[in-house]
């Protein structure tokens, strides 16, 4: 009974390779693949060398990164030496997460492989495509099944890019050892069957990877896919009729047989060959009538004269496709040449496998589970019983191991499988909106200071795209933006770091930043259509346009202007209890930001979005939106008027308070004023951070002051032309405030609350230099960008802003912490607020 069971199990697993079971991690993650066996065409730094390209590991700088930015024409690879021929069925890739400081990943890649280390073959899928779609973020591993699988020893993962990008990869490969040891087969190319009333059936070997037509390679006959009884329909791959078989027609091949040659990795003693063959005799297809195999002990020797002959029992009753097992009498060889004789007009094979002595006799293809080897010879009747007992015990152990193994296999299999069936990456409609919901790479940290890592919830419904769409109807309706894999560079498709992480804010995924109507609007805006935004989403009231009386122009930009206006009857309009804006005598003064009527629809969209965002913000240190005029063009938003203008202008016209300034009546500020300003900015930013709102452009120029020197954070983008030298233009498109930007924002386009903290540090520095100097004024824009590279490299060559003469050293230490390379080391806004507040009260 046990023996029978064992045989059944064995015949199932040992008959030939089963790609559905051959899915074991090959050892990148757990280190069975040694560092020495992982090489690369190049590496950016020692800390991003090939040995760091292990899936789910966070060593070095968190991944393998090839040197420099990857150009579309570049071929950079991570090469794995699997040491033995391996049947590779699955590849998983991941980007460089590096505890959330990484931002590089390979959006696409391809594979080259080599069985001998010399001849490299590019993998193609069954329809001839080389490119595999890879990652969409830095931490989620994307698992891809290889159809067809690869039989190889060396594997290269080659990131592919459409635009210039930095890429980094972590990988794992899955599969099992290729115990057949077959390195190549050759055969006549399969033919095409054309019969009236049937589809044209191509029986060629379409995945063959040899040098010539069916010479020196492997293909469909070793891919583990077995054809069906009817050879016409293909299995799962929507390809062409007859796909799963390689077939030949007798009369087109003179001699009445098909000759195939098989080469192996080394000399083996062959026990059998199994040929999966079609037997649809109604259409003239039968298994071979006989086969004759000759052996070659060494690759360069002659064929041995005495072949192994085998005749099949022909079956005219059962049309099932079947394995024909050909005993090979333990003959030894490194190559075989077999002639399969026709039994009918056609002969069709879908798979050929070889069994040789070197296989573990009992183990299923689970190589890393150490099975005891079967006992050797049991001689003599006296020991026979003992032997039987031993065998039975062993069988019990083996069965247990097999069952256990199958359980483990299932567990091992499940993860990648499930991912495959429903790629975990949930893409929400637009390229700027690739919201990826996954299990977190690290468990959420519990600490008082909110960490900056974006940790995703494990709630199962967040794995389900449909559930999400229901929750985010706006997003599900929005149009596709560009091709599915538009390169999300900073100018177009920056993911909204601020909103991915927690449930209460998912409704605000469309909140991007305070950027308004600047022509240079470089920040990603999800593709929520204007229609879905207007009217219904705007929670502030429509103000009668005719009651806005123009006073003067405050600023101007590509898409609009900011005017100072008198708002007649605004107090009544806003109603009782509404905090009244600044009053000039009887008139209420407001700032009116107005979009040009001919602005692009993108600018309109952004404008409405800014309205929507601002209407939800309610904090004493954030500029307040009072009302809007959106029922007709031009679109306007009405905000508080800040009489003292922006902080940059304000401070640059003042001296620090002293007896001299008093004596000469020079406009001045005290240290206490400066500290009070810093506290207010920290307070406003603390509020934004509590909403997971990323400002992205915090600077003194975006902090406004009213008459009482209350600071309100804003972004009057339209007046930016005053500060155009603060922004850096990339190819005329993006305008980036690089001197305020954290290194990861410059290099990786990553904007988070932590990068706002960096900008806060720069803003503090501006305040304590009284805005007399641009940050890094001695560096050119290019040098600033280089400097952020030094921050990334962290080899002590980065340049920090220097201690401003007015600045207390404790405060400078705080600034320096804001400029920590690792975002974990930067303080949060609430801790900044806590740290600054006592100083302000002090003096
Ligand atoms: C091959 O890859 C392309 C692109 O990734 C894909 O569209 C196609 O469906 C794949 N073909 C098969 C048979 O898997
Ligand atoms: C095999 O036949 C199909 C269908 O006729 C054809 O598209 C494909 O290119 C052929 N493949 C090879 C490798 O010849
Ligand atoms: C093959 O069999 C021969 C004797 O039959 C033995 O000497 C040899 O070691 C075997 N080779 C392998 C690779 O098992
Ligand atoms: C196959 O072809 C050979 C030579 O043309 C012929 O002698 C033989 O009878 C054919 N076999 C079958 C089964 O038709």
DSSP 318-356: ----EEEEEEEEEEEEEEEEEEEEPSSSEEEEEEEEEEE
Ligand nearest to the backbone CA of 242: 2
Please tell me the least confidently modeled range out of 399-408, 430-439, 799-808: 430-439
CA of 117 from ligand 3 middle (Å) equals 27
pLDDT (mean) for 529-557 = 68
Per-residue confidence (pLDDT) for residue 495, from 0 to 100: 33
Which of 257, 342, 344, 347, when mutated, tests ligand 4's pocket best, judged by the most ligand atoms within 8 Å of its CB?
342
Query: The tokens 């920040």 sit on which residue?
Result: 523
Per-residue confidence (pLDDT) for residue 715, from 0 to 100: 73
For the chain, residues classed under CATH 2.60.120.1190 are 182-357
Which stretch of DSSP H or E encloses residue 153? strand 142-160
- Active site (annotated) includes residue 697: yes
Q: What is the pLDDT of residues 405-426, one digit of tens each?
A: 555 444 433 333 322 222 222 2
If pLDDT is split at 50, 70 and 90, which confidence band does 339 have? very high
Is the model's pLDDT at 154 over the cut of 50? yes
Length of the chain equals 843
CA 96 to chain centre: 9
Task: Indicate which residue's Cα is closest to atom 8 of ligand 4.
Answer: 256
- Provide the mean pLDDT of the chain: 74
Phi and psi angles of residue 276, each rounded to the nearest 5 degrees, phi first: -85, 120
Per-residue confidence (pLDDT) for residue 491, from 0 to 100: 29
CA 786 to chain centre: 26
Q: What is the pLDDT of residues 587-617, one digit of tens each?
A: 788 888 888 877 777 778 777 877 877 788 8
Per-residue confidence (pLDDT) for residue 410, from 0 to 100: 42
Please tell me the least confidently modeled range out of 222-226, 333-337, 477-481, 736-740: 477-481
* 125 close to ligand 1 (CB < 6 Angstrom): yes
Q: Coil, strand or helix: which one is 514?
A: coil
The winner for highest mean pLDDT among 48-57, 368-377, 381-390, 588-597 is 48-57
* 342 close to ligand 4 (CB < 6 Angstrom): yes
Dmax over CA atoms of the chain, in Å, equals: 121
Structure tokens at 274: 């199994």
The winner for highest mean pLDDT among 246-250, 483-487, 659-663 is 246-250
Interatomic CA distance for residues 110 and 123, integer angstroms? 7
Per-residue confidence (pLDDT) for residue 316, from 0 to 100: 80
Per-residue confidence (pLDDT) for residue 509, from 0 to 100: 26
* 222 close to ligand 2 (CB < 6 Angstrom): no
Interatomic CA distance for residues 239 and 232, integer angstroms? 11
Instruction: Please identify, by atom number, the ligand 3 atom nearest to the C-alpha of residue 356.
Output: 14
* 127 close to ligand 1 (CB < 6 Angstrom): yes
Cα–Cα distances in angstroms (integers) from residue 829 to residues 508, 656, 740, 760, in the given order:
21, 26, 16, 9
* pLDDT > 70: percent of the chain: 71
If pLDDT is split at 50, 70 and 90, which confidence band does 372 have? very low
Instruction: Please identify, by atom number, the ligand 2 atom nearest to the C-alpha of residue 204.
Output: 1
Interatomic CA distance for residues 632 and 817, integer angstroms? 48
Is the CB of residue 66 less than 8 Å from the CB of residue 75?
A: no
* 229 close to ligand 3 (CB < 6 Angstrom): no
Statement: the pTM of the whole predicted model exceeds 0.75: no
* 343 close to ligand 4 (CB < 6 Angstrom): yes
> For residue 353, how many C-alpha atoms fall within 13 Å in the half-sphere facing its CB?
24
Interatomic CA distance for residues 370 and 22, integer angstroms? 17
Please tell me the least confidently modeled range out of 125-134, 412-421, 453-462, 695-704: 453-462
Does CATH place domain 182-357 in 2.60.120.1190? Answer: yes
Cα–Cα distances in angstroms (integers) from residue 543 to residues 257, 317, 532, 627, 632, in the given order:
90, 88, 21, 6, 11
The winner for highest mean pLDDT among 622-631, 635-644, 672-681 is 672-681
| The one catalytic residue among 180, 223, 697, 726 | 697
| For helices 829-842 and 753-768, angle between their N-to-C axes, nearest 10 degrees | 20
CA of 112 from ligand 2 middle (Å) equals 21
Per-residue confidence (pLDDT) for residue 733, from 0 to 100: 44
* 116 close to ligand 3 (CB < 6 Angstrom): no
Per-residue confidence (pLDDT) for residue 584, from 0 to 100: 57
CA of 702 from ligand 1 middle (Å) equals 49
Is the model's pLDDT at 486 over the cut of 60? no
Per-residue confidence (pLDDT) for residue 817, from 0 to 100: 93
Which of 19, 90, 91, 129, when mutated, tests ligand 1's pocket best, judged by the most ligand atoms within 8 Å of its CB?
129
Which of 91, 125, 149, 223, when mutated, tests ligand 1's pocket best, judged by the most ligand atoms within 8 Å of its CB?
125
Instruction: Please identify, by atom number, the ligand 3 atom nearest to the C-alpha of residue 332.
Output: 1
Task: Indicate which residue's Cα is closest to atom 9 of ligand 2.
Answer: 206
For the chain, residues classed under CATH 2.60.120.260 are 18-177
Query: Which of 345, 350, 290 has its CA nearest to residue 321?
Result: 350
DSSP code of residue 212 = B
Is the CB of residue 341 less than 8 Å from the CB of residue 358?
A: no
If pLDDT is split at 50, 70 and 90, which confidence band does 709 have? confident
Is the model's pLDDT at 528 over the cut of 60? no
Structure tokens at 518: 């600047």
Please tell me the least confidently modeled range out of 113-117, 391-395, 533-537, 758-762: 533-537
pLDDT (mean) for 479-499 = 29
Number of Cβ atoms within 10 Å of the Cβ of 773: 15
Per-residue confidence (pLDDT) for residue 764, from 0 to 100: 94
CA of 427 from ligand 1 middle (Å) equals 19
Structural domain 18-177, CATH architecture: Sandwich (2.60)
pLDDT (mean) for 47-63 = 92
Ligand nearest to the backbone CA of 204: 2
Per-residue confidence (pLDDT) for residue 424, from 0 to 100: 28
Is the model's pLDDT at 171 over the cut of 70? yes
Contacts of 813 (CB under 8 A, 6+ apart): none
Task: Indicate which residue's Cα is closest to atom 11 of ligand 1.
Answer: 127
If pLDDT is split at 50, 70 and 90, which confidence band does 485 have? very low
Per-residue confidence (pLDDT) for residue 300, from 0 to 100: 80
Please tell me the least confidently modeled range out of 255-269, 610-624, 755-769: 610-624
Please tell me the least confidently modeled range out of 424-433, 530-539, 821-830: 424-433
The winner for highest mean pLDDT among 274-283, 498-507, 730-739 is 274-283
Interatomic CA distance for residues 714 and 650, integer angstroms? 15
Is the CB of residue 257 less than 8 Å from the CB of residue 341?
A: yes
Q: What is the pLDDT of residues 64-101, one digit of tens each?
A: 999 989 999 999 999 999 999 999 999 999 999 888 88
pLDDT (mean) for 361-380 = 36
Contacts of 496 (CB under 8 A, 6+ apart): 432, 509, 511, 512, 524, 526, 694
Q: What is the pLDDT of residues 192-225, one digit of tens each?
A: 998 888 888 889 998 999 876 667 899 999 998 8
pLDDT (mean) for 788-793 = 86
Is the model's pLDDT at 362 over the cut of 70? no
Give the residue with greater pLDDT, 580 vs 718: 580
Per-residue confidence (pLDDT) for residue 3, from 0 to 100: 40
Per-residue confidence (pLDDT) for residue 328, from 0 to 100: 93
Give the residue with greater pLDDT, 717 vs 577: 577
Query: The tokens 């469909």 sit on which residue?
Result: 220
* Peptide bond preceding 634 in cis form (omega within 30 of 0): yes
Per-residue confidence (pLDDT) for residue 257, from 0 to 100: 93
Please tell me the least confidently modeled range out of 219-223, 397-401, 757-761, 813-817: 397-401
CA of 259 from ligand 4 middle (Å) equals 14
Number of Cβ atoms within 10 Å of the Cβ of 150: 23
pLDDT (mean) for 691-708 = 86
Q: What is the pLDDT of residues 643-655, one digit of tens each?
A: 888 899 899 888 8
* 126 close to ligand 1 (CB < 6 Angstrom): yes
CA of 121 from ligand 2 middle (Å) equals 18
């Amino acid at each position: 009974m046990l023996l029978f069971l064992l045989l059944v199990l064995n015949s199932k697993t040992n008959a030939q390779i089963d790609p559905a079971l051959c899915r074991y991690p090959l050892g990148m993650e757990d280190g069975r693949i040694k560092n020495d066996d992982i090489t690369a065409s190049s590496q950016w730094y020692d800390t991003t060398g090939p040995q760091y390209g292990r899936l789910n590991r966070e060593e070095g700088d968190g991944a393998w990164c090839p040197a420099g930015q990857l150009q579309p024409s570049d071929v950079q690879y991570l090469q794995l030496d699997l040491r033995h021929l391996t049947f590779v069925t699955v590849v998983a890739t991941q980007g460089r997460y590096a505890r959330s400081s990484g931002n590089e990943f390979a959006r696409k890649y391809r594979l080259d492989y080599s069985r001998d280390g010399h001849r490299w073959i590019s993998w193609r899928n069954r329809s001839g495509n080389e490119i595999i779609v890879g990652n969409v973020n830095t931490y989620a591993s994307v698992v891809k099944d290889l159809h067809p699988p690869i039989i190889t020893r060396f594997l290269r993962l080659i990131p592919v890019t459409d635009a210039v990008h930095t890429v980094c990869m972590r990988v794992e490969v899955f599969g099992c050892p290729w115990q057949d040891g077959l390195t190549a087969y050759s055969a006549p190319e399969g033919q095409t069957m054309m019969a009236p009333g049937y589809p044209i059936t191509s029986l060629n070997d379409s995945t063959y990877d040899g040098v010539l037509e069916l010479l020196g390679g492997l293909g469909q006959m070793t891919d583990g896919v077995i054809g069906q009884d009817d050879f016409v329909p293909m299995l799962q791959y929507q390809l062409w009729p007859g796909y799963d078989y390689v077939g030949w027609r007798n009369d087109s091949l003179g001699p009445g047989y098909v000759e195939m040659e098989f080469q192996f990795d080394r000399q083996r003693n062959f026990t059998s060959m199994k040929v999966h063959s079609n037997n649809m005799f109604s259409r003239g297809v039968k298994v071979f009538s006989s086969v004759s195999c000759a052996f070659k002990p060494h690759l360069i020797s002659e064929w041995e004269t005495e072949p192994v002959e085998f005749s099949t029992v022909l079956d005219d009753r059962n049309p099932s496709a079947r394995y024909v097992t050909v005993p090979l009498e333990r003959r030894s060889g490194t190559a075989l040449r077999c002639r399969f004789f026709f039994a009918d007009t056609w002969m069709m094979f879908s798979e050929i496998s070889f069994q040789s002595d070197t296989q573990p006799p009992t183990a299923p293809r689970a190589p890393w589970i150490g099975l005891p080897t079967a006992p050797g010879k049991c001689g003599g009747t006296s020991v026979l019983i003992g032997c039987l007992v031993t065998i039975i015990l062993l069988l019990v152990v083996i069965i247990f191991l097999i069952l256990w193994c199958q359980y483990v296999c299932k567990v091992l299999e499940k993860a990648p499988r499930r991912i495959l069936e429903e790629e975990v990456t949930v893409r929400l409609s637009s390229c700027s909106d690739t919201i990826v919901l996954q299990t977190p790479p690290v468990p959420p940290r519990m600490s008082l200071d909110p960490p900056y890592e974006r940790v995703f919830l494990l709630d199962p419904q967040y794995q389900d795209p449909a559930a999400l769409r229901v929750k985010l109807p706006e997003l599900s309706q929005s149009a596709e933006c560009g091709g599915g894999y538009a390169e999300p560079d900073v100018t177009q498709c920056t993911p909204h770091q601020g909103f991915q992480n927690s449930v209460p804010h998912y409704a605000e995924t469309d909140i991007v930043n305070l950027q308004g109507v600047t022509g240079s609007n470089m920040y990603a805006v999800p593709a929520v259509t204007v229609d879905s935004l207007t009217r219904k989403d705007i929670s502030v009231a429509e103000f009668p346009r005719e009651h806005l009386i123009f006073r003067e122009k405050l600023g101007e930009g590509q898409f609009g202007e900011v005017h100072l206006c008198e708002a007649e009857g605004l107090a009544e309009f806003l109603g009782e209890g509404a905090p009244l804006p600044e009053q000039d005598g009887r008139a209420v003064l407001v700032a009116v930001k107005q979009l040009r009527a001919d602005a692009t629809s993108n600018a309109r969209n952004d404008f409405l979005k800014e309205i929507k965002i601002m209407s939800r913000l309610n904090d004493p240190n954030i500029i307040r939106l009072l009302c809007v005029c959106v029922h007709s063009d031009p679109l306007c938003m009405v905000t508080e008027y800040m009489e003292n203008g922006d902080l940059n202008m304000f401070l640059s016209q003042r001296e620090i308070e002293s007896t001299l300034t008093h004596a000469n009546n020079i406009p001045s500020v005290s240290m206490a004023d400066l500290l009070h300003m810093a506290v207010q900015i920290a307070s406003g930013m603390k509020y934004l951070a509590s909403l997971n709102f990323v400002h992205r452009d915090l600077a003194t120029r975006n902090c406004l002051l009213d008459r009482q020197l209350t600071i309100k954070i804003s972004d009057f983008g339209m007046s930016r032309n005053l500060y155009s030298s603060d922004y850096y233009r990339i190819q005329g498109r993006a305008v980036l405030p690089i001197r305020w930007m954290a290194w990861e924002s410059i290099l990786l386009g990553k904007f988070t609350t932590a990068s706002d903290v960096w900008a806060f540090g720069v803003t503090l520095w501006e305040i304590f230099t009284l805005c007399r100097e641009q940050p890094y004024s001695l560096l050119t824009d290019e040098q600033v960008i280089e400097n952020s590279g030094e921050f990334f490299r962290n080899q002590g060559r980065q340049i920090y802003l220097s201690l401003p003469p007015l600045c207390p050293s404790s405060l400078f230490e705080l600034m320096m912490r804001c400029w920590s390379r690792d975002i974990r080391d930067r303080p949060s806004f609430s801790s900044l607020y806590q740290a600054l507040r006592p100083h302000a009260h002090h003096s």
